Structure 1
Amino acid sequence: VVLAIILVRQGISTEGVEQAFLAAIALAVAAIPEGLATVTAVGLALGVRRMAERGAIVRRLPAVETLGSATVIATDKTGTLTENRMRWETFAPPGGDFAPLEALDGQRREVAERVAVLCNDGELEPPVGDPTDIALLAASGPERVDALRAAWPRAAVIPFDSERKRETTVHRGPDGILELQIKGAPENVLPRCAGTPRWREEILARNEAAAGRGTRVLALARRVLDTVPSDLDEAAVDLELVGLAGLRDPVRPAAAESVAEARSAGIVLLMATGDHPGTATAIAEEVGLAPAPVRARTGRELRSDGFAADPTQNAVYARVDPDQKLELVRLLQEGGHVVGMTGDGVNDAPALRRADIGIALGRRGSDVAREAADMVITDDDLATIVAAVREGRGIYDNVRKVVDYLVTGNLGEVLVVFIALLSLPALGIPLFPLQLLWINLITDGMPAVALGVDPNDPKLMRRPPRPRDQGLLGWERIRLLLARGFLIAAATLAALLVSRYGFEASWEEARAVMFTTLVAAGLLYAFAVRRGSGGPFSNRWLLLAVLGGFLAQLFIVYFPPAQELFATVPLDLRDWALALAAGAAPSILLWLTFRGEKTRPAQAPG
């Protein structure tokens, strides 16, 4: 179309065809935001680096965008909400209440330490293994651990797993005695102990009370054998209950703040843990995961009754198995949620793979979990996950700013050329090919890159999650950007008309004013698209890019060889005042429009 209009105006001649062809090509180049791919790649790379510095290693780049859409995050308790720094603090003998471990002495302490140390797969120096195992070993100290393990070598073992919730070992003592030992969840160990039903109920009641205070309770039991049995589980009956070990894992100092930030961002946080429901609810109430009193649904209840129609109605799921985590993810996704799931074990891999964002806990996670995950958290901290969500939102926000900036500026250029060609025949070619390419270079180059690394909006985590199917350029967005492009075009053409008819300048001088106005409008529009990102001076790279753009424009307006190359003429102060005022007008008008907009708080339900 441009080619045809220029040919009609210039006439079909060698020079006319050449000018028309070059103008059409230049306009086509100006219309395409060719810098978008580069700027997006740079923004993603820098964002991923910032996330890695914070402790969130992204294994699959699409996860960065998905993070900004997360509506539900199902997290473990140990390590994410707590410090994963277990300490054995209390002990309850079979007939007594919990008391400080230091108060336990004599034969009872010796037996309790022996079971805790021997029925244990951890190592103390250096610390290797499950934090619970390490805490039990630490209570005895390295010398005592070495002495017990040397005197009581292991003869057989069934390791702890999430289904049995206990570990069983057999050891040969100094006098050739064989002792079977069990360590595990009280509700799984007590049925194998000798005692009356009422006695078991009393022990379990003490367990429930301790768990309700946030204590993790393990039952320790033993039995003397004649020979090493072929089936340890069959032999693990009529056990002697040694007692209940009470361990504490302090809540992370930043856990409550992270939970509050996630909720303010419209993200529902769920706890899915293998721990006791009492311990889980105590921690959930302490960090504000849900309003007190919190009720946990257990894996056993889920087996019999199934999940609720809306799984987010329950904030805590305790004693759940890996297959139930997978079912939880599936149901949440069917409900329209974008789900993040944490996990560390081999059995967690299916749930991590199924989740929209699989988050492996790197400090204690298995290699299989890391391979299945989209992101690995090196410190296992919920605060790192929330920071990654914030960074993911920020990256998407910056990409959107760049798209707005480039598309609006390019539409403005195209509209200026089309409208001037149709309405101002005396002007001839509105903007020469090199002028169009210069505008494209100055406005689509460094300012766009600077927008791609814009600081995060302080209100970013007070917005609701972005719908996952929301594109960068939907029809509504295109209409909005087209209107902004018209605004820039109108201001630019107004400067042309004021220069030509108000200041009675020549068409060449008026074209130079229009050219400078369009450059100024493009550079200043960068500040309008980054509204809410900490003020106009918070992005020093953008300030430098805009300043550099204006200095470059001064150069081609006043340097004689550049004047000839770009077909410009020197502008006086009146022309500059007009160009800057007209160039700033669209951005000022947009800022006035933005002032009335408020960020809607996005409190998560519950």
Structure 2
Amino acid sequence: MDENKVRELYAANDISEVYQNLESSENGLTSAEAAKRLQKYGTNTIKKAEAEAGWKAFLKNFTSMMAILLWVAGLIAILSDSVELGIAMWLVNIINGLFSWWQERAAKRATDALNQMLPTYVQVLRDGKKKQIDSKHLVPGDVFIVQAGDAIPADARLISATSMQIDQSALTGESVPESKVLKYDPGEGKYAESNLLYSGTICSAGNGRAIAYATGMKTEFGQIARLTQNEEDTESPLTAELSRLTKQITLIALTIGVIFFFAALFIVKYPFAKAFIFALGMIVAFIPEGLLPTVTLSLAQGVRRMAKKHALVKELNSVETLGETTVICSDKTGTLTQNQMTIHYIWTLKNTFKVTGDGYVNNGQIEMNGQRIFYEQNPDLHRLVQIAAMDNDTEVEPAKDGGKPKILGTPTEASLVIMSQKAGLDIKRLLVKYPRLRELPFDSERKRMSTIHRWNDTEAIIMTKGSFSDTIKQCSQVMVDGKVRPMTADEREHAKRVNADYAAKGLRSMAMAYKIIPKNDDLQKMSIEEAESDLVFVGLTTMSDPPRPEIYDAVKRCHQAKIRIIMVTGDSKLTAKSVAVQIGLTSDQARVISGNELEAMSDHELREALKGEVIFARVAPEQKYKIVKTLQENGEVVASTGDGVNDAPALKKADIGIAMGMTGTDVAKDAANMILTDDNFASIVAAIEEGRAVYANIRKFLTYILTSNVPEAFPSILFLFSGGAIPLPLTIMQILTIDLGTDMLPALGLGAEAADPDVMSQPPRDRNEHLMTRPLLLKAFLMYGLISAAIAMGAYFFVNYQNGWPMHALAANGFVYIRATTMVLGAIVFTQIANVINCRTNKTSVFKKGLFSNKNIWYGIVFEIILYFILTVTPGIQSVFNTTTLGWQDWLVLFILPIPLVLLEEGRKWLVYHKQWN
């Protein structure tokens, strides 16, 4: 429902008109009417978007461009009597498809997150009586009861409320609970109406009754869910790039295949069928059949490494997307900050005390001039700490198993409890000594809370805490050094200046005051105005949700990596900017845009604003979504972090959505691509580093794989242009042996290569930059590839030379021919050993990085040597792959081959990148 219409019908209207609009009453609905409405409006549940059918999710792993090409090529091979070749190609698709499907199935943790956010049961008034029902049967017009700790089951208008505090952080990102009262106040920003409750929020204190006006998908919660569900999954940059690369390679391979088909027909005079098989061999030589499984396995390795760094990735391709992230849209509360209100300073007219220790952990202490001070040592501190502890309805239960303490109440009051403990106060003993006689609960109009306690046999004490501006005006006296005297105008002005200075630093202040009165029977009848007049001002406490300790270094590393961080929060402009400047996110000159200002901006104005230093405060869920969408329109690759329901649409829209695993709602986790198990922003930086390394490694093994295409294709080229005078030095099955057998594990080893030291000192990769670049092709085809081809053909001619060539023609069959093709295959395998070692680094010496530091590569090298040995000595396999047993001299030559190639590349790196070696 439109926000303005909601305010008009349910917030601004008198409660009697709300009853009339909803055709209900203060006694709720009858059971019969509730049943009718349940039929009309449906259940109070959040409907999830229809998941992709299981068989569709399975089949999509077998229908990529590369997979289709291999299916077709395999079929053609089988129809052309090359059954082994066709089966081999199909096996590639089957293995890779099954692996991709299983990996993504294991990585995704799809949960029925939206329904889990709603309470199971709710107390309603039906037929004028209290009744407990399943929350999914709640309907518009139902009157329900709210108590501390309850989750709100529907959007509702308050009917009654006592000291009600609602935690709306899941919707707004605001860490401080909202006070809810019967009187309408529109508040600042969305969801700020003082008399409305929203589905999915939690009552942290107080109690009351409310009448539901929206349930299920009609609630604000449901609207956010619909926005999230309607957002289509975007294709990852790596998926798009692999698709493009596949099309390029396919076009090249098919073009070469057609050219060689006609050349075989008209130059070599092959019959049609034989020419087709020959052309197919050229296509096979140029299609890197091992590319898809190698990329998939490399990404899977990246997923495992990132999991060790507290980042769970739900989809493989999200790993690489992180590497090209240019902007992180980050929530503040719980992401950049600890989501724990913490007292930092205590101020009295005479002294300023520093409170050490973080959050709700019962550590730290109260200090003055760097020395610990207990509350008994200073009379003003003594009284202030007493007020903070006694004028308080919150309990803090000790942490269990190293976790966070349990807060029974509000975060603000919890911070006062912890402060009192740090001062050395035993709160339980204090409350036994000075028992509470009466409470004057907090409300949003006077913004104060007071409690009355027995002070001694004849006196009582009224303790008051509240906002500075609303409390100081009730004070006529002041405590200084334990003595009470009238407050002067200068002292009042000084306190106001101090409070303003704290506010400018983004700190929230709370004033403490008291007065001692005679103890009599009139205490229960005393009005609030009388109780909170002529108070004694004691001092201030200042608090904030502090930044995470590790955030400073994480922000610095992002800036070094040329990654912008834009804070997008539901908190106030002042608090947002204060935190952003404090942690180094932005300079003090950053522009702060509120949700209302954003609403009034044109698309062009927003695009321009997003190009500079900017912070967004008091934003609504659809506005977070709009910010992410506009950044993407500006050409940015956007990572969006968050933990609340309000973050889910932006998480879904972003190129990479990152949810908090510990404090995040299930809705946010369901929408995200990645989940941080430690809620640590620094883990994002580690994940980005891993993402960049993964992409660099994909390029490395792309270079490695493409290099072997040249020596695989060169024998066919010689055969063709010699008019068949040079018998085919390498068979199609031998080509597949290289692509799918010997090359595979070393390529996977490259996928596990550690990131280069300067990977986070470089700007993000340009999204228009492709995997297959000109330098990569030059290195693969014209340098590594030609060298490998020359060595392979050298081996072929050397075997023939040993058997009488050139006096006799090159062997076209028999033992000499088989031995020659075996040596060609071996030469390619062993030059690829040198190639994989050379590909490990781009600029630095592989010896500097550690020749044996990547054990996975060496496992792959050992595997390919053993596999090649098996192919050459096993009788049944020899006939399929056209190989034979080699002598020890042949093996010696093959083992020596990689050494000069590695040294040659080391020399080239030294000449070109000499500075990198220093």
Give the TM-score normalised by the residue count of structure 2.
Answer: 0.52
1:230-278 superposed Cα distances (whole Å, 9 cap, x missing partner): xx9xxxx999777431247776554333233222212123445566778
Q: Distance in 2 between matches of 1:35 and 1:167?
A: 71
Could you say if the C-alpha distance between residues 577 and 6 of structure 1 is closer, same or farther in structure 2, counting changes exceeding 3 Å?
A: farther
Q: Distance in 1 between matches of 2:270 and 2:837?
A: 43
Could you say if the C-alpha distance between residues 587 and 496 of structure 1 is closer, same or farther in structure 2, counting changes exceeding 3 Å?
A: farther
Q: Which has the higher contact order (CA 8 A, sep 6+)?
A: 1
The equivalent of 1:98 in structure 2 is: 352
The equivalent of 1:161 in structure 2 is: none
Report 1:151-190 matches (<5 A).
151=436
2:554 counterpart of 1:258: yes
* Alpha-carbon contact 2:300-2:316 (below 8 Å) kept: no
Report 1:196-215 matches (<5 A).
202-203=494-495, 205-210=497-502
2:686 counterpart of 1:373: no
- Structure 1 letter corresponding to 2:387: V
- Structure 1 letter corresponding to 2:353: A
Q: Distance in 1 between matches of 2:793 and 2:446?
A: 80
2:530 counterpart of 1:530: no
Query: Aligned match of 1:111 in 375, 381, 387?
Result: 387
Could you say if the C-alpha distance between residues 123 and 366 of structure 1 is closer, same or farther in structure 2, counting changes exceeding 3 Å?
A: farther
Query: Aligned match of 1:543 in 850, 858, 863?
Result: 858
- Structure 2 letter corresponding to 1:343: G
Q: Secondary structure at the match of 1:48?
A: helix
Q: Secondary structure at the match of 2:663?
A: coil
Is 329-338 or 76-85 further displaced after alignment? 76-85
The equivalent of 2:397 in structure 1 is: 124
Could you say if the C-alpha distance between residues 137 and 49 of structure 1 is closer, same or farther in structure 2, counting changes exceeding 3 Å?
A: farther
Q: Distance in 2 between matches of 1:227 and 1:467?
A: 72
2:726 counterpart of 1:427: yes
Report 1:366-445 matches (<5 A).
366-423=665-722, 425-445=724-744
* Alpha-carbon contact 1:276-1:318 (below 8 Å) kept: no
The equivalent of 2:788 in structure 1 is: 488
* Alpha-carbon contact 1:151-1:173 (below 8 Å) kept: yes
Specify which structure has the higher proportion of helix: 1
* Alpha-carbon contact 1:259-1:287 (below 8 Å) kept: yes
Could you say if the C-alpha distance between residues 58 and 227 of structure 1 is closer, same or farther in structure 2, counting changes exceeding 3 Å?
A: farther
* Alpha-carbon contact 1:341-1:359 (below 8 Å) kept: yes
Q: Distance in 2 between matches of 1:372 and 1:228?
A: 53
Q: Secondary structure at the match of 1:269?
A: strand
Q: Distance in 1 between matches of 2:446 and 2:859?
A: 63
- Structure 2 letter corresponding to 1:392: G
Displacement of 1:540 after TM fit?
A: 0.7
The equivalent of 2:108 in structure 1 is: none
- Structure 2 letter corresponding to 1:36: L
1:496-529 superposed Cα distances (whole Å, 9 cap, x missing partner): 3455459955642544332221222233322233
- Structure 1 letter corresponding to 2:793: L
Displacement of 1:389 after TM fit?
A: 0.9
Could you say if the C-alpha distance between residues 200 and 518 of structure 1 is closer, same or farther in structure 2, counting changes exceeding 3 Å?
A: farther
Could you say if the C-alpha distance between residues 471 and 318 of structure 1 is closer, same or farther in structure 2, counting changes exceeding 3 Å?
A: closer
The equivalent of 1:268 in structure 2 is: 564
Displacement of 1:128 after TM fit?
A: 3.2
1:311-338 superposed Cα distances (whole Å, 9 cap, x missing partner): 46437x3854446655654554343322
Displacement of 1:543 after TM fit?
A: 0.8
Q: Secondary structure at the match of 1:246?
A: strand
Q: Distance in 2 between matches of 1:375 and 1:333?
A: 19
Displacement of 1:71 after TM fit?
A: 1.2
Displacement of 1:72 after TM fit?
A: 2.0
Is 449-458 or 479-488 further displaced after alignment? 479-488
Report 1:464-479 matches (<5 A).
464-473=763-772
Could you say if the C-alpha distance between residues 190 and 338 of structure 1 is closer, same or farther in structure 2, counting changes exceeding 3 Å?
A: farther
2:393 counterpart of 1:139: no
* Alpha-carbon contact 2:439-2:452 (below 8 Å) kept: no
Displacement of 1:423 after TM fit?
A: 2.8
Structure 1: gaps (5+ residues): 159-163, 602-606
Displacement of 1:384 after TM fit?
A: 0.9
Displacement of 1:542 after TM fit?
A: 1.0
1:39-76 superposed Cα distances (whole Å, 9 cap, x missing partner): 33322233223323322233454432321111122445
Q: Which has the larger radius of gyration?
A: 2
2:44 counterpart of 1:44: no
* Alpha-carbon contact 1:520-1:584 (below 8 Å) kept: no
- Structure 1 letter corresponding to 2:507: R
Could you say if the C-alpha distance between residues 563 and 357 of structure 1 is closer, same or farther in structure 2, counting changes exceeding 3 Å?
A: closer
Q: Distance in 2 between matches of 1:326 and 1:564?
A: 62
Q: Distance in 1 between matches of 2:717 and 2:440?
A: 88
Task: State the aligned residue count.
Answer: 577
Could you say if the C-alpha distance between residues 553 and 351 of structure 1 is closer, same or farther in structure 2, counting changes exceeding 3 Å?
A: closer
Could you say if the C-alpha distance between residues 24 and 220 of structure 1 is closer, same or farther in structure 2, counting changes exceeding 3 Å?
A: same
The equivalent of 1:218 in structure 2 is: 509
Q: Distance in 1 between matches of 2:703 and 2:533?
A: 73
* Alpha-carbon contact 2:388-2:416 (below 8 Å) kept: no
Q: Distance in 1 between matches of 2:446 and 2:632?
A: 35
Structure 2: gaps (5+ residues): 1-257, 355-365, 367-374, 400-404, 455-459, 477-487, 516-522, 812-816
Could you say if the C-alpha distance between residues 76 and 597 of structure 1 is closer, same or farther in structure 2, counting changes exceeding 3 Å?
A: farther
RMSD: 5.1
Report 1:344-383 matches (<5 A).
344-383=643-682
2:600 counterpart of 1:303: no
- Structure 1 letter corresponding to 2:509: L
Could you say if the C-alpha distance between residues 76 and 573 of structure 1 is closer, same or farther in structure 2, counting changes exceeding 3 Å?
A: same
Q: Secondary structure at the match of 2:641?
A: strand
* Alpha-carbon contact 1:363-1:378 (below 8 Å) kept: yes
* Alpha-carbon contact 1:65-1:395 (below 8 Å) kept: yes
* Alpha-carbon contact 2:821-2:882 (below 8 Å) kept: no
Q: Distance in 2 between matches of 1:596 and 1:227?
A: 92
Displacement of 1:600 after TM fit?
A: 12
Could you say if the C-alpha distance between residues 421 and 254 of structure 1 is closer, same or farther in structure 2, counting changes exceeding 3 Å?
A: same
- Structure 1 letter corresponding to 2:556: A
2:627 counterpart of 1:343: no
The equivalent of 1:604 in structure 2 is: none
Q: Distance in 1 between matches of 2:686 and 2:716?
A: 45
Q: Matched residues, percent identical?
A: 30
Could you say if the C-alpha distance between residues 170 and 207 of structure 1 is closer, same or farther in structure 2, counting changes exceeding 3 Å?
A: closer
Q: Secondary structure at the match of 1:425?
A: coil
- Structure 2 letter corresponding to 1:205: R
Displacement of 1:287 after TM fit?
A: 4.8
* Alpha-carbon contact 1:69-1:467 (below 8 Å) kept: yes
Could you say if the C-alpha distance between residues 220 and 239 of structure 1 is closer, same or farther in structure 2, counting changes exceeding 3 Å?
A: farther
Give the TM-score normalised by the residue count of structure 1.
Answer: 0.75
